[in-house]
Amino acid sequence: MKLVERIGLAALHRLDPERAHNLSLAALRAHLVPLPGVITSPRLRTQIAGLDLPNPVGLAAGYDKNAIAIAPLLRAGFGFVELGAVTPRPQPGNPRPRLFRLTEDRAVINRFGFNNQGMEAIAPRLAARPKQGIVGLNLGANKDSDDRAADYVRVLEKCGPLVDFVTVNISSPNTERLRDLQGAEALRALLRRVMDARNGLASPLPVFLKIAPDLTDAEIADIAEVAATAGVDAIIATNTTLARDGLTSRHAQEKGGLSGAPLFARSTRVLARLALESGGKMPLIGVGGVASAEDAYIKIKSGASAVQLYSAMVYNGIGMIADVIRGLDQLLARDGFASVSEAVGIEKEKYA
């Protein structure tokens, strides 16, 4: 880690985590952070759901909820970025404090609750984004909505034409009963409405589905079948976990979703199970605990065509992105792969 970034991180860690989060976005927008630009190579270039990625390492949703730093994030090295989650109406989210660093565990717990400025405020920022670079949007539902499927559809219809893909987020643990939508029948009904809305757009775009890590093998099998039947273009595995196994931090029992290093094994198992259930036919994006090139490589070998990260930047800074991408390129070269796609799923049985 560069000295300037190390000093900056140390300063941020003296602040309340949510304030530090907002200041990091402000620093990006003010061009205070050196950024490498797009990082690519013949080995790293890949495709997922028809999208051409310069490399398979993306930013997970949750960092830039309101789409205020799109241009600098696209220059940070990522192969793609996912913004949001965005709901139809603005909502403040849950009371503060709602973000906690578990430094000893290299983890984060959040219970934000889909805090965002709403689709009417965010759509113009998406319309003004750089045309170069792959940008996706995480779709959310308002906490007090009595028809959450309709909320996903509304955001899709408003913002879908302005991005390259959308993600149906049914797996945040911080909106009451949201995860109930992962049940086979509820999911089937939800996806029918979302896919109908997608197909009604002037230029239909890929729809991804983001699932939880706290699923049984039977639930994973159901989701794989329903998603494939509905025509979902990819599954993101996974969101944060409610589990608290093995944590040592004083914040370990805070309510909310746990992300970071302790999520890695759990999310990778779900990813590998999905790869087995889908027979490699459903593109998968692996997220959860990725903090190094080696972590990204394990996700890929477990079945991921691309990976996402976020929480690791809390501890390693945004400069880590370039290290992960270049390190992944070196690992692929070491093992004789001409492209990242050749490595996808080669060890899924090991991690399932």
Residues designated as active site = 172
3-state secondary structure of 317: coil
- Give the type of residue at 6: R
H or E element: which one contains 53?
Answer: strand 51-53
Hunting for tokens 């709602």 — which residue is that? 98
The strand pairing partners of 99, in sequence order, are 110
Q: Which residue do the tokens 């996903």 mark?
A: 152
Residue 226: exposure state from Cβ atoms within 10 A (0-12, 13-18, ≥19): buried
Among 62, 107, 108, which Cα is nearest to 85's? 62
Q: What are the two backbone dihedrals, phi and then psi, of residue 38, each rounded to the nearest 5 degrees? A: -65, 135
Helix (H), strand (E), coil (C) string for 98-139: CEEEEHHHCEEEECCCCCECCHHHHHHHHHCCCCCCCEEEEE
- Residues 198, 160: contact at Cβ < 8 Å? yes
The alpha carbons of the chain give a radius of gyration, in whole angstroms, of 19
Q: Which helix (H) or strand (E) holds 83?
A: strand 80-86
Q: Which helix (H) or strand (E) holds 46?
A: strand 46-48
**How far is the C-alpha of 243 from the C-alpha of 257, rounded, in Å?**
8
Report whether 105 contacts 248 (CB < 8 A). yes
Provide the token pair at 326. Answer: 């270049």
Contact 33, 347 (CB under 8 A): no
DSSP annotation of 91 reads B
The vertex-102 CA angle with 96 and 103, nearest 5°, equals 130
